[in-house]
Chain A
Amino acid sequence: MLFRRFLVTLVVFSLVVLLSLSAMAQEKKPFEGVVLNAYFIGGGAYEKLYTKIPEFEEQTGAKVNIAAKLSHFELNKRVAQEFASGGDIDVISTHTTFAPGQKDFLLPLNEYLTPEDLKDFTPSTIEASTVDGKLIMLPRHTDVRIMYYRTDLFEDPKEQEAFKAKYGYDLRPPTNWQELLDVAEFFTRPPDLYGFVFTGGEEPLVGTFYELLLSAGGNFFDEEGNVIFNQEPGQKALQLLVDLYYNKKATPEGVPNYRWDEVAKAFRDGLIAFYFDWPGWYTMMKDPKESKVAGKFGLAPYPVGPAGYAKIWGGSHGFAVAKSTKNPEAAVALVKFLTSGDNLYFEAKEGGFLPASISAYQRLKEDVAKTGDPLDLKRLELLEQELAGFVPPPKIPEYQEIVSAIWPELQKSLVEGRDVKVTLDIAAEKVRKILGR
């Protein structure tokens, strides 16, 4: 009898303990039962970070349902449809180039984050992620372009001698636009070698033009929002591209059809003496199986423009929260988790990215210093300088529309040699119309 009573007490007691434990556990897991629908950018290197999500689920009790993993163009279309149709969407991958266009549908994160939360991010990336004073995404990693050049060509004494004889100064990776033109012309020996290559179509063309426009001291708009890219700096910028492509024919002729993959492939195939590209190709270029220039290339800073400095176009991938989310706290927590210093370090190490986190960048540099490849370290140091001052595209929702409207006009100067002033005036008129609507 006594034993039975003891048994009952024991059962009751353990039940109480269990219940309170689970209650405690519930207290510990703030988002138990919350399901977050995520729409992420997919593909090889991007997906490493998502392997960390189970840790978040473990810590918070929330469940993350990755509804889609797509290329950025496909993802943007899908996300736009979800936004427009009021779908269940909580967290998305986005980019400083696209986020301003999505801003009507994105939750301002300032209200959920403290300055303390943001202090590990590179200030320029936070700046690029802020539109009209609202932080609409948290940066993940950043792309800024850098100059790749062929050391076997630039360091060849015969080439150096021939260059000096022709141009009267020493051959080196170009440090200004005149040198850029000279060196590009010098190394152009079709069909086996061209001096330079650039992305000559669609958004990549507009981005390249934008970068040059800034380095010439101009911009798309002035402070009042007036269209000014057709003024003198814009003309100088476009003229440089026209000189390279149309007048000096110092690039492969297919350039108007070249976007990211094609320019990188042309360099890897040993067809190009120097060019500007994203840092992400670096690993592939070093791989002798993928690249004919493995071990034969170096990195250098951008040449300065007529304005006396080089502005570099860049952008950050990141994560944002949909305004329509039913669980803003949980969604913000997921975004914070994915962009934490530890996770960004993990991702950068695995995928060769440039993390938007200062501490992750520091750790990466320490790792590289230990491995002892001087080019690896130079790359990180050069990019660190560039990261401090990179420029994202104008943060206006109409940017994509503007891109679509002006790239065919820019091409008209490239492929037909149309006067740059005429081209830019037409393009500027189109842009005014888009903004005036």
Chain B
Amino acid sequence: MRMRGERYFPYVLILPSVVGTFLLIVFPLVYSFFLSLTSFHLLKAQSLRFIGFHNYWEVLHDPAFWVALKNSLLFMVVVVNVELVLGLLVALLLNRASGGQGILRTLFMIPMMFPPILVGLQFRWFFNDQFGLLNNVLLSLGIIDRPIGWLVRTNTAMPAVMFADIWQNTPFTAVVFLAGLLSLPIEPLEAALVDGASPWQRFRYVILPMLRPLILIAMTIRSLDAGRKAFDLIMLMTGGGPAYATEILGTYTFRRAIVDYQFAYGAAISFIDMVLTVGFAVYLYRQLLKGRV
């Protein structure tokens, strides 16, 4: 017969983490959901009134929200794909490097170690119209005769921000893929060599299928991370402008909740954002599991 103490012991053991999760995740989540159902405005006394799903209705009819959502998706799709392709190329090159692989690997990882806020500042100056490095080079080469405002044109601001993000995060995918390449079994490759497969065939039919789980993992992590990390970059480089051209959900939520003090409205945007993110994560996770079979 089991002792009573033994029966409850496991629950006691997990209690601290349950309490921690509750305080740090569940409570804020529930509270912000509650806020999103009110008209709470930080600077309006007695504004904490229950208004049901009115904020959600407002958000869904807010053109700026849809622009931000579209920009977020565009941003994510472009940077994640470019980072995956570039990361794979870098990893393949590093894998071939005969000497100094350790040093090269460390050098390639440096951008990843910068806080996004520094990267944002760096690229704000890089793309600056009057004092920026890019314009300076283009002007002195005679390619342009007048500085270009990279960060203030609606058609170049987003690519500039994407460029900064790709610069920072490609090392991450490269490191993941390099780890994968280094741990691949050698036998299938040898078999392919014996069968006379060309380098491209070896890559396409042997290496790539074996890397598939890693690609999916890198894609999942980067996709979920892309919007959040980009917040710092965008706030510093463009502030979401010009004219919403680089406004993503994160910056728009910040503007409404923190700058305008509309906590309730901001909470509603966050919740819609969260539902979309969780949905997307579940989808990616399913893909990942499929890859295992």
Interface-side segment among B40-48, B82-90, B174-182: B40-48
Judge if B153 is at the interface, Cβ distance under 8 Å: yes
The answer to whether A252 and B129 have CB atoms under 8 Å apart is yes
**CB distance B243 to A254 under 8 Å?**
no
A254 near B260 (CB under 8 angstroms)? no
Is B239 an interface position by the 8 A CB rule? yes
Does B80 sit within 8 A of A, measured CB to CB?
no
Segment of A9-17, A307-315, A339-347, A409-417 in the binding face: A409-417
- One of B146, B243, B262 near A416 (C-beta < 8 A): B243
Question: Given the complex of chains A and B, what is the CA–CA distance between A289 and B44 in angstroms?
Answer: 46
The answer to whether A397 and B152 touch across the interface, beta carbons within 8 angstroms, is no
User: Which B115-139 residues have a C-beta within 8 angstroms of A?
Assistant: 128-130, 135, 139
Whether A104 lies near B243 (C-beta < 8 A) is no
Contact B130 A257 (CB under 8 A): no
* A401 contacts the other chain (CB 8 A): yes
Chain B neighbourhood of A367, CB < 8 A: none
Interface residues of B in 173-224 (CB under 8 A from A): none
Residues of B near A83 (CB, < 8 A) are: 42-43
**Of A104, A201, A414, which one neighbours B239 at CB under 8 angstroms?**
A201
With A252-B147, A257-B151, A397-B43 in contact, do A408 and B244 touch (Cβ < 8 Å)? yes
Cβ contact within 8 Å between A415 and B129: no
From the candidates B44, B152, B255, name the one contacting A256 in the complex (CB within 8 A). Answer: B152
A404 / chain B contacts, CB cutoff of 8 Å:
255-256, 259-260
Q: Given A253-B147, A254-B128, A400 and B260 touching (CB < 8 A)?
A: yes
B146 adjacent to A190 (CB under 8 Å)? yes
Nearest CB in chain B to that of A253: its residue:
B149
Interface centre among A254, A400, A411 (most CB of B within 10 A): A254
User: A84-B42, A266-B130, A415-B154 are known contacts. Are A401 and B260 too (CB-CB below 8 A)?
Assistant: yes
Report if A396 contacts B (CB, 8 A).
no
A412, B243: Cα distance in complex, Å: 5
Central interface residue in A102, A266, A401, by most chain B CB within 10 Å: A401
Given the complex, which residues of B lie within 8 Å of A256, measured CB to CB? 149, 152, 241-242
A266 contacts across to B, CB distance below 8 A? 130
A22 within 8 A of B: no
User: Does A211 have its Cβ within 8 Å of any Cβ on chain B?
Assistant: no
Q: Is the Cβ of B130 less than 8 Å from the Cβ of A271?
A: yes
Asked, given contacts A400-B259, A411-B243, A414-B242, whether A254 binds B149 with beta carbons under 8 Å apart, the answer is: yes
In Å, the complex CA distance between A411 and B245 comes to 10
Does A81 make an interface contact (CB < 8 A)? yes
**Residues of B220-273 contacting chain A, CB below 8 A:** 238-244, 247, 255-256, 258-262
Determine if A191 is an interface residue (Cβ-Cβ < 8 Å).
Answer: yes
* Chain B interface size, under 10 / 10 to 19 / 20 to 34 / 35 or more: 20 to 34
> Is B139 in contact with A191, judged by CB distance below 8 angstroms?
yes
Given known pairs A415-B152, A416-B154, the reply for A254 and B129 (CB within 8 Å) is: yes
Contact A408/B241 with A191-B139, A256-B152, A266-B130 known, Cβ cut-off 8 Å? yes
| In the complex, chain B residues whose CB is within 8 Å of the CB of A257 | 149, 151-152, 238-239, 241-242
Q: Does A52 touch B at the CB level, under 8 Å? A: no
On chain A, the residues within 8 Å of B135 by CB distance are 191
Q: A202 near B: Cβ within 8 Å?
A: yes
Shortest Cβ distance from A75 into chain B, in angstroms?
Answer: 13
Contact of A255 among B128, B152, B154, B243 (CB under 8 A): B152
Q: Which residues of A contact B44 (CB under 8 A)?
A: 104, 397
Min CB–CB distance B277 → chain A (angstroms): 24
On whether A253 and B129 interact (CB within 8 A), knowing A104-B43, A190-B147, A201-B241, the answer reads yes
Residues of A101-128 at the interface with B, using a CB-CB cut-off of 8 Å, are 101-102, 104-105
Instruction: For the complex, give the distance between the alpha carbons of A138 and B220 in Å.
Output: 55
Q: Does B166 make an interface contact (CB < 8 A)?
A: no
A415 cross-chain contacts in B, Cβ below 8 A: 152-154, 242-243
Q: Answer yes or no: A363 CB below 8 A from chain B CBs.
A: no
Query: Does A191 lie within 8 Å of B147, measured CB to CB?
Result: yes
Residues of B within 8 A of A397 (CB): 43-44
| Residue in A closest to B238 when the chains form the complex, CB atoms | A257
Residue of A nearest to B40 (CB): A84
A237 CB, nearest partner CB in chain B, Å:
18
Please encode chain A, from 247 to 270, with 1 for each CB lying within 8 Å of some chain B CB and 0 for all others: 000001111110000000010010
Per-position binary interface string of chain A over residues 41-82, scored 1 when its CB falls under 8 Å from any chain B CB and 0 otherwise: 000000000000000000000000000000000000100110
| Binary interface encoding of chain B residues 60-88 relative to chain A, with 1 for a CB under 8 A from any of its CBs, else 0 | 00001000000000000000000000000
A260 to B192, CA, bound (A): 64
A418 to B, closest residue via Cβ: B243
Given contacts A104-B44, A414-B242, A415-B154, contact A77 B258 (CB under 8 A): yes
B161 within 8 A of A: no
- B125: min CB distance to chain A, Å: 11
Hey, which chain A residues are within 8 Å of B259, CB to CB?
400, 404
The CA of A271 and the CA of B147, in the complex, are separated in Å by 13
Give Cα distance in the complex from A411 to B241, angstroms.
8
Q: How far is the CA of A400 from the CA of B259 in the complex (A)?
A: 8
Cα of A83 to Cα of B46 in the assembled complex, Å: 12
B148 within 8 A of A: yes
Report the separation of the CA atoms of residues A200 and B241 in the bound assembly, to the nearest whole angstrom.
10
Query: In the complex, which residues of chain A have a beta carbon less than 8 angstroms from the beta carbon of B149?
Result: 252-257
Contacts of B241 in A (CB 8 A): 201-202, 256-257, 407-408, 411
Closest to B144 in A: A191
- Which of B129, B130, B149, B260 neighbours the largest number of chain A CB atoms within 10 Å of its CB? B130
Q: How far is the CB of A57 from chain B (nearest CB, A)?
A: 31
Complex Cα spacing A341 to B135, Å? 50
Which residues of chain B from 149 to 177 have a CB within 8 Å of any chain A CB? 149, 151-154
A residues near B154, Cβ cutoff 8 Å: 415-416
Q: How far is the CA of A393 from the CA of B135 in the complex (A)?
A: 37
Select from chain B the residue with minimum beta-carbon distance to A77.
B258
As a 0/1 sequence over residues 194 to 235 of chain A, the CB contacts with chain B under 8 angstroms (1 = contact) are 000000111000000000000000000000000000000000
Measured CB to CB, the nearest residue on chain B to A269 is: B130
A433 to chain B, nearest CB (A): 9
Report yes or no: A411 in contact with B43, Cβ–Cβ below 8 A.
no
Measuring CB to CB, which residues of chain B are less than 8 angstroms from any residue of chain A?
A: 42-45, 64, 128-130, 135, 139, 145-149, 151-154, 238-244, 247, 255-256, 258-262
A residues neighboring B (CB under 8 Å) = 77, 80-81, 83-84, 101-102, 104-105, 190-191, 200-202, 252-257, 266, 269, 271, 397, 400-401, 404, 407-409, 411-412, 414-416
- Interface CB pairs A-B, < 8 A, 16: A83-B42, A83-B43, A102-B43, A105-B43, A105-B45, A252-B130, A252-B147, A253-B147, A254-B152, A257-B241, A257-B242, A408-B242, A408-B247, A409-B243, A415-B154, A416-B243
